[in-house]
């Protein structure tokens, strides 16, 4: 995989990384850097079983999850006084975007991920299933339940 391909997919990758990192922009950038290094060093190889974007999204998701696990262990090990709380300036969105983000936060993680992959990234449910490493049936269930809940929450607000 060439750098040019990574660069081309960078905006979409960043958006997905943002989603995997609970919209923490610094963490999303760190995750992306880790993913790019992993790919360029050959530790993650594209095997052609899905589209490049789907595979890249799966790598981003795994890397973000691994970093989150490491951070959780570190936070458990470090005493509270030793933690460095970094204030992150909140990003301002339009009112409708804020309402959508707020409604998405209330969904189960898998449901939110499937919906974001389908509606935000214009992926099919099949590709979303591959990116999330779940079966197609599971992805369909998450999609249907998630969409139902999201629509119910957004009804009348947007």
Partner 1 sequence: MNDDQLRDAFAELRRADAARVPAYVAPALSRRVGRLRVGSTLAFAALLLIVLAVVMIPRRPPQPSISAWRAPTDFLLQTPGRELLNSVPDLKGTRQ
First-to-last CA distance in the chain? Answer: 41
**How many residues in total does the chain contain?**
158
Check residue 36 for interaction with partner 1 (CB under 8 A).
Answer: yes
Check residue 2 for interaction with partner 1 (CB under 8 A).
Answer: no
Check residue 101 for interaction with partner 1 (CB under 8 A).
Answer: yes
CA distance 122 to 55: 15
Contact (CB, 8 A) for 6 and 39: yes
CA distance 114 to 129: 8
| Among the residue ranges 4-12, 55-63, 71-79, 130-138, the one whose residues contact partner 1 (CB under 8 A) | 4-12
CA distance 20 to 55: 15
| Among the residue ranges 47-55, 73-81, 94-102, 133-141, the one whose residues contact partner 1 (CB under 8 A) | 94-102
Residues that bind partner 1 (CB under 8 A): 3, 6-7, 10-11, 14-15, 18, 25, 29, 33, 36-37, 40-41, 91, 93-94, 96-97, 100-101, 116, 119-120, 147, 150-151, 154-155, 158
């Amino acid at each position: 995989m060439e750098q040019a391909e990574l660069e081309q997919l960078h905006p979409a990758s960043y958006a997905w990384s943002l989603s995997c990192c609970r919209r923490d922009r610094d963490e999303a950038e760190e995750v992306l850097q880790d993913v790019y290094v992993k790919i360029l060093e050959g530790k993650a190889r594209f095997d052609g079983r899905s589209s490049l974007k789907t595979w890249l999204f799966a790598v981003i998701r795994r890397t973000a999850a691994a970093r989150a696990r490491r951070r959780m262990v570190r936070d458990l090990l470090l005493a509270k006084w030793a933690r460095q709380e970094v204030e992150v300036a909140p990003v301002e969105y339009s009112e409708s975007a804020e309402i959508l983000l707020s409604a998405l936060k209330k969904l189960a993680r898998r449901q939110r991920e499937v919906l974001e992959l389908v509606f935000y990234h214009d992926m099919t449910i099949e590709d979303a299933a591959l990116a999330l490493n779940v079966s197609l049936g599971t992805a369909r269930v998450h999609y249907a339940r998630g969409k139902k809940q999201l629509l119910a929450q957004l009804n009348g607000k947007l």
